[in-house]
Structure 1
Amino acid sequence: MVSSQARQAIAKARRVVVKVGSASITSLSGGLDRDRLDTLADAVEARMRAGSDVVVVSSGAVSAGLAPLGLTRRPKDLATKQAAASVGQLALAHAWGTSFGRYGRTVGQVLLSADDFARRENHRNAQRTLDRLRSLHAVAVVNENDTVATEEIRFGDNDRLAALVAHLVGADALILLSDVEGLYDSDPRRGDATLIREVSVHAALDEVQAGDGGTLGTGGMASKLSAARLAADAGVPVLLAAATRAADALGDGLVGTAFEARPVRLSARKFWVRHAADARGALLLDAGAVAAVSQRRRSLLAAGVVGVRGTFHGGDVVSLVGPDERTVARGVVAYDRTELEGMLGRSTAELPSELQRPVVHADDLVAL
């Protein structure tokens, strides 16, 4: 296989985030598979000895807790999921610690919730923790804090978490290891699918068949495509490969599917607005305002806002919704809802001087 620019960047990356799926290290019958976990740790250690810093994002806490609790399938109710996670997180952290301990490596567990990315102060604290673990030559193993996360504040899957972590630590590459060889043009279980080796930043992936996760996991191909797009916005190339090929994926990278990164990454603030922050409400726009913010990248003025939804305050992130109910952008609103309700549809000249700022400034706005 010819090494593409994206694969070369992944192979040479100094700072790498590696995501490991649940099905790659656990089984319903026996919980954690220590042999497979050791093999993954071997591949990560080899990459670290080659000079890279590696952060591991590990699924598997809920799955690891199933067998010890006598459960035979992944639970659907939140309380049982959290109970399984509380048991599994201990087992998962200990297993990674044991695997890396063979090389004299210390492991630090970092549990994150979506709120840690949505709130700027939490975001900075998580960043400092991961940077300090790296400087102390420890291996950071990140997982979602499943024991406290509710359905409303979950990442949804660890593929998304891994992409956000890649941005958080300023990674040069993201490697997603799972139970599939890569991205296919159709369902590979049908036997006639073709592996897609390279995906350019301009590729249209809307027609690719993307399924849900399996019995043990939550993230299927759809979540991996979403994570690849998210990482591309951060300027991070992505490699999707089978966990059984971990040594190759972390070596020359000539396996799986490589996703090219955008040549110009979003600024940290715009990335946060688009991907990490929770939208606290919505502004309803007329057609002219939609064109201004999504096509001309102009600031949103009160004259183009026809309605508001939700409760928000100045400085919160809100969704910008067009007449067809489609969200066209996200941005940081300058006013509280109560202030904005009295400004709807009014031109700047009609407003008092203290209310003549844009509702959402172009610098704080990201079109979708």
Structure 2
Amino acid sequence: MRERISNAKRVVVKIGSSSLTNDEDGHTVDPNRINTIVNALQARMEAGSDLIVVSSGAVAAGMAPLGLSTRPTELAVKQAAAAVGQVHLMHQWGRSFARYGRPIGQVLLTAADAGKRDRARNAQRTIDKLRILGAVPIVNENDTVATTGVNFGDNDRFAAIVAHLVSADALVLLSDVDGLFDKNPTDPTAKFISEVRDGNDLKGVIAGDGGKVGTGGMASKVSAARLASRSGVPVLLTSAANIGPALEDAQVGTVFHPKDNRLSAWKFWALYAADTAGKIRLDDGAVEAVISGGKSLLAVGITEIIGDFQQGEIVEILGPAGQIIGRGEVSYDSDTLQSMVGMQTQDLPDGMQRPVVHADYLSNYASRA
């Protein structure tokens, strides 16, 4: 798997805030750290790989110019810091890549961009065109307009979504930790975990949260790595200090193996990135048919329609107790479905006898482990 990562053609590299800013200098962007990272990125590109950089650090980089000593929690202040910091951050990325005659292109995305298929495709085309034109795409979540509850949560998950969006061959997550340990690596009894093939390899692992300037700790990185593996992307998790060997032979850090039964591109998007427009509650029999039987969702198994939605939108599929069991692309609008609830297919009028959600356009969460 490490050889596969080292030979990957299209690689997404995510760098955490702590690896780009200087904690001792008021969380300013550190040009020396960025230069070291760019040197390694350039070497990998010269070896023939296409790289997409997911860069954290906008909020952290805006703290010093705005006189903030701690990472803001108030949404408006966070957005202001991101607006200021993004300028400083991209300036340093641009200066550093300019040493090699490479232009950069800034791509700011929101959860809403990934959640709408047409906007996601537009973002994909932009990133592809930047690469074709010789520019390095620098991607970040658009914190200046993202709102609480309508964002990716952290840049680790964001990087996993981007890796899926661009059909990456590998994802490299870089932070300030050499890899995954079963507990805090400062604990002398902590054991290093070099490979994660499935959930069994994570039993007993205690992963922490974010640091002073970042939002994603080890827990979010493990979650993001497993998310990427569901779309068939192998992941290497290590420290930014190891970026050289990570991008050379990948003989550092922790490797997360991709799932053999990986989700299709559509099902991955529907489960993890798509916006949802409403909800459909099912009875126990329909839940069993959807999860275990791989069946299409029929009107007879529906007990409630929640929200207003149109034909072709993504809806959440709920169990009897309200638990989310999956998502699907609905074949009818909510008003039409209200008149179909609980009805047998043969009792429905002509033109309304097709499945509410076809099995090909229905994804459930039961196989995520």
TM beyond 0.5 = yes
- 2: distance between equivalents of 1:204 and 1:326? 27
Residue 260 of structure 1 is aligned with which of 257, 260, 274?
A: 257
Residue 311 of structure 1 is aligned with which of 308, 319, 342?
A: 308
Residue 151 of structure 1 is aligned with which of 128, 148, 153?
A: 148
Q: Which amino acid aligns with 2:79?
A: Q
Residue 24 of structure 1 pairs with residue 16 of structure 2: no
Q: Deviations over 1:110-139 (max 9, x none)?
A: 111111111111111111111111111111
* 1:210–1:222 contact (8 Å) kept in structure 2: yes
CA RMSD of aligned residues (A): 1.3
- 2: distance between equivalents of 1:76 and 1:215? 12
Residue 92 of structure 1 is aligned with which of 89, 92, 95?
A: 89
Q: Which amino acid aligns with 2:326?
A: A
Q: Which amino acid aligns with 2:278?
A: G
- 2: distance between equivalents of 1:306 and 1:219? 38
Matched residue, 1:101 = 98
Residue 315 of structure 1, CA deviation = 1.1
Q: Which amino acid aligns with 2:329?
A: V
Q: Which amino acid aligns with 1:286?
A: D
Residue 302 of structure 1 pairs with residue 338 of structure 2: no
Matched residue, 2:79 = 82
Residue 348 of structure 2 is aligned with which of 346, 351, 357?
A: 351
Q: Which moved more, 1:240-249 or 1:268-277?
A: 268-277
Secondary structure (helix, strand or coil) at the match of 1:355 reads: coil
1:200–1:66 CA distance, 2 compared to 1 (3 A): same
Residue 285 of structure 1 pairs with residue 292 of structure 2: no
Residue 12 of structure 1 is aligned with which of 7, 13, 29?
A: 7
Residue 146 of structure 1, CA deviation = 0.8
Secondary structure (helix, strand or coil) at the match of 2:327 reads: strand
Matched residue, 2:124 = 127
* 1:201–1:232 contact (8 Å) kept in structure 2: no
- 2: distance between equivalents of 1:189 and 1:202? 24
Residue 204 of structure 1, CA deviation = 5.5
Matched residue, 2:185 = 188
Q: Which amino acid aligns with 1:320?
A: I
Hey, which bits of structure 1, 4+ residues long, moved more than 6 A?
none
- 2: distance between equivalents of 1:162 and 1:303? 40
Q: Deviations over 1:130-188 (max 9, x none)?
A: 11111111111001111111112211111111111111111100000001111111222
State the identity as a percent: 56
Secondary structure (helix, strand or coil) at the match of 2:351 reads: helix
Secondary structure (helix, strand or coil) at the match of 1:151 reads: coil
- 2: distance between equivalents of 1:224 and 1:319? 25
* 2:27–2:60 contact (8 Å) kept in structure 1: no
Q: Deviations over 1:86-111 (max 9, x none)?
A: 11011111100111111111111111
Residue 195 of structure 1, CA deviation = 1.1
* 1:27–1:63 contact (8 Å) kept in structure 2: no
- 2: distance between equivalents of 1:347 and 1:20? 53
Secondary structure (helix, strand or coil) at the match of 2:248 reads: coil
Gaps of 5+ in 2: none
- The alignment of Structure 1 onto Structure 2 pairs a total of residues equal to 363
**TM-score normalised per structure 2:** 0.95
Matched residue, 1:361 = 358
Matched residue, 1:3 = none
- 1: distance between equivalents of 2:105 and 2:314? 32
